[in-house]
Every structure is written in C-alpha cells, then in structure tokens.
Amino acid sequence: MRAWIGATLTGLVAAAAVLVAPAAQAAPPPDVHRSAEKPSADRPSADRPPAGAPAGAPGTKIVGGRPASEPYPYTSSLQVGGRHGCGASLISDQWLVTAAHCVQGQSRLNVRIGSPNRSSGGTLATSARLIPHPSYRGLPGSYDVALVQLSRPVAGTPVAIADASPAQGSDVRLLGWGQTCPQRGCDQGSEQLKELDTRINPDSMCSGGFDPSNELCVYSTSQATACYGDSGGPLLVRAGGEWRLAGATSRAGANSPTCGGGNSTIYTDVTAHREWIESTAGLR
C-alpha cells in the first residue's frame, strides 16, 4: 500500500494531478490490472482523497466546498486496506468509471458505494478487474479514464452518462472526499462527501498536456477547487431535472502542485469516451 500511495503522490506532483497523499500503510492487495506505472497522488490510496484533480475545502473538504446536499447514491470511494484513495461513479450494477491513474499499479481495490461517509455505510464490494483506457500513457496526458468491474452486481442507483460534453461557461458540480486545503499533504481529506459548484473554463485556460478532444477545463482557484484525494470522482451536469456524469477528476490545469493553481483543473471528458466505456462494459 505504501508503494501505491507513493506512486500516487509521484504521479500527482509530476503531472500536477490534484489528489491528497494518503498515509503510508501495508502493501496493497497483490494483483492489479495495470502495473506499468504506480498510482499517482490521485489514485486511490487508502487515505488519499480523490478529486478531479484534487479537491478539498477548508473544513468541508473539496477546497471551498460544502457538505453534500443530496444522496448521490452512485458516488464511490476506492480504497486499499480501508483507506480512501480516489473517487469513482457507479454507471451500472457492476461497473464504475474513475481515472486511469487511480488504478495503475493496482490489482485489486475495495469499493464503498453510495455512502456520504468514506468510512461507513453504503455497499461494500471488491473489484474483479481494473481496466485503464488502452491509450492512457500516464500523467500528464489524456485518456485518464478507467473502468472498475465489481466482483458481483450491487443494488445501487447508477448515474447516467451525459448525452454531450458541457459547453464553455456551463455550470457543473464536483464531488469528492479530497483535501480541504490547497497545499499537498496539508490535511487527510474529508470523511464526509463534499460538493462544489463551478463552471467550464475556455480551453485556453488549461495547459499541462490538456487535450480538448477528450478533456474538460474546469474553473478553480486555491479557495475553490478539487484537490488531492478527489481524483477519479465525478463532474456532474444537470439535465432533465437530474444529475448526469460528464467528467472524472484528473489533474491540475497548469502542472501546479497546489490545488487550484493556474485557475483550472483538468477533468477527463467521460462523454467523449462513451463508446469505449459502453463497449468494454457491455452496456449497449
């Protein structure tokens, strides 16, 4: 587990990914789908909060966020040894979407689904397969998306993937258990799920290997942003009176080790990967 956390941190700093570094622990369960690159700071490391590139708000975790105002039954915590590392979203009774850097270097993860508390409640499950996008080559870089297949179907409420990518200026909502302060390692992340309302930035606001064809540039500041521990977690858009999944937290938008640095955070555009997601998970 220590290796996982260390890798996650390394990936975070090197790629400016925004996640919180979890405390060291025993080695993670043997056997991970992809081991070429060890998980980075946003990767689930038991205790590292996930975030669209780090999240965390003073006192409320996602930096500048507030306690979750709704159930969000599809929101999930990826864990190793009981410690949170990344977020994920349930999209069917046996599949979740997260960031590829959250599963790299891992062979098995535990998942807590549908609870606002990352340490209790909800449904517990174990991964059967961890599948990063075949074009993912590590951070910084695009295609930072992965699927987690559970070892058994769960009785949960999946979130639907949005029909289209949110346009520049669109209102979006971020969810996560990440840090509540912007500097790496400044706290251990939030026990309770946090939310933050923000908007889609112009593509020109994101650097750090940003790829507008399959990533989203999200407005953020050091006072309001996703942070370490928020990686892999959802970016939601409102459609037809309900929330839809549009993105997954990836990394900081300017290769900054400080959450919100550069006034942007990069999210993987889940809608751009719909075909791969649905064909791989057999959802169509």
Looking up residue 179, the CATH number of its domain turns out to be 2.40.10.10
Catalytic residue list contains 231: yes
Active site residue: 144, 187, 230, 269, which one? 144
- Same domain? For 28 and 91 the reply is yes
Q: Does residue 131 contact residue 149 with C-beta atoms inside 8 Å?
A: yes
Residue 44 preceded by cis peptide, ω within 30: no
* Residue 160 lies inside a defined structural domain of this protein: no
Residue of 231, 250, 256, 264 marked active site: 231
Query: Does residue 40 form part of some domain?
Result: yes
Residues with Cβ within 8 Å of residue 241, at least 6 apart in sequence: none
CB-based contact 37:138 (threshold 8 Å): yes
Tell me what pLDDT residue 241 has. 95
Based on the domain organization, do 18 and 76 belong to the same domain? yes
d(CA 56, CA 66): 10
| pLDDT lower than 50: segments of the chain | 1-61
Q: Which H helix or E strand runs over 110?
A: strand 110-113
Residue 193, domain extent: 171-272
Annotation says 33 is catalytic:
no
Distance of CA 185 to the CA centre of its chain: 17
Q: How many domains, in total, are found in the chain?
A: 2
Q: By the 8 A CB rule, do 264 and 215 touch? A: no
Catalytic residue selected from 33, 101, 133, 273:
101
- Position 144, amino acid: D
Exposure string of 26-42, with b = 16+ CB inside 10 Å and e = fewer, is: eebbeebbbeebbbbbb
Asked whether residue 61 is domain-assigned, the answer is: no
Who's near 59: CB < 8 A, 6+ residues apart? 180
Q: What is the pTM of this model?
A: 0.80
Q: For residue range 108-167, list pLDDT tens digits in order.
A: 999 999 999 999 999 999 999 999 999 999 887 899 999 999 999 999 999 999 999 999
User: Could you confirm whether 101 is annotated as catalytic?
Assistant: yes
Q: Are residues 6 and 137 in the same domain?
A: yes
**Does residue 145 share a domain with residue 9?**
yes
Regarding whether 144 and 25 lie in a shared domain, the answer is: yes
In this structure, is residue 41 part of a structural domain? yes
Q: Are residues 180 and 131 in the same domain?
A: no
Residue finishing a domain among 98, 118, 150: 150
Give yes or no: residues 13 and 143 share one domain. yes
Is position 57 within any domain? no
